Amino acid sequence: MAVAVESSSTRLIFVIDSIDQMDAHSCANINWLPKNMPPKSFLFLSTVSDEQEFENLNSQIQSYYGSEHLHLTEIQPLTSSEVRLMGEEYLMNSGRTLQEDQKHHLVQMLNDTTREKPTVFRSQLFLSIAKGVSSYTNFPRFEATVNGALTVISRRLFAKHGELLTKTVLGLISIPRHGFPDYAILDIISGHDEVLNDVFQYHEPPIRRLPELILKVINQIHIF
């Protein structure tokens, strides 16, 4: 990888997150990273710190760049108050709020480390669930894991849009590397008789094609 800047006053910052989640070849051989960085250029790499992969990557990076150019900083978990504030800000920006007992349960879920360590993705899923909680209902009870949150979200999507349609859209999103465009998903599903029969079970339109309203369903699913 070659790196160049327009002038000596330009600051260039590279950020590569979760480098430990890359494929085995990229992790085993890091010479694809820029070695000779121009002045005022910085490279930030993030990885988990409690896995064997961290030790291997750390050793490779020190050998590749030299320990004098390497600065390790461990990011500490958010405190309970920070987690609560993050949740309140997220809900406020979404135009939602929670009752005190619901807030308390959400913070407990966000801080739960019983089965897995908190991650940004897991927190996003929990907050997405909280955004859909009504003030007169209890906070959903589920395992404080990514899989537990995805189960709740899936059930909501099934109930709202139908299980067959939702599963078909999820399948089409996951097949290609970068996903199908929304209009392509609409075209493909419109040729799926089983899905059409399920969607049109109460009304048969003159043209058997899913309406563009289904794009809203696709957008809701794309978030996850």
169-187 pLDDT, tens digit per residue, is 888 877 776 667 777 888 8
Q: How many domains does the chain have?
A: 3
Q: What is the pLDDT of residue 144?
A: 92
CA–CA gap between residue 57 and residue 69 (Å, rounded): 15
* 157, part of any domain: no
The residue segments making up the domain with residue 107 are: 80-142
* Same domain flag for 166 and 217: yes
Decide: 98 and 62 in contact? Cβ < 8 Å. no
For 95-149, how does the pLDDT look when each residue is reduced to its tens digit (9 = 90+)? Answer: 888 898 998 899 899 988 888 878 778 888 999 999 888 888 889 999 999 999 9
Judged against a pLDDT cut of 80, whether residue 77 lies above it is answered with no
* 27, part of any domain: yes
Judged against a pLDDT cut of 90, whether residue 204 lies above it is answered with no
Q: What is the pLDDT of residue 1?
A: 52
* 4, part of any domain: no
Q: What is the pLDDT of residue 142?
A: 92
- Of the three residues 69, 94, 116, the one that is the final residue of a domain is 69
* Same domain flag for 125 and 174: no
* 102, part of any domain: yes
Locate 28 and state its tokens.
Answer: 């085993």
* Same domain flag for 132 and 176: no
* 177, part of any domain: yes
Q: What are phi and psi of 177, to 5 degrees?
A: -60, -40
**Residues contacting residue 58 through CB under 8 Å, at least 6 positions apart:** 72
* 121, part of any domain: yes
Q: What is the pLDDT of residue 3?
A: 53
* Same domain flag for 93 and 59: no
* Same domain flag for 97 and 118: yes
* 57, part of any domain: yes
pTM above 0.85, yes or no: no
CA–CA gap between residue 145 and residue 93 (Å, rounded): 24
* Average pLDDT of the segment spanning 187-203: 84
Pairing of strands 41-45, 12-16: parallel
* Same domain flag for 210 and 191: yes
* 61, part of any domain: yes
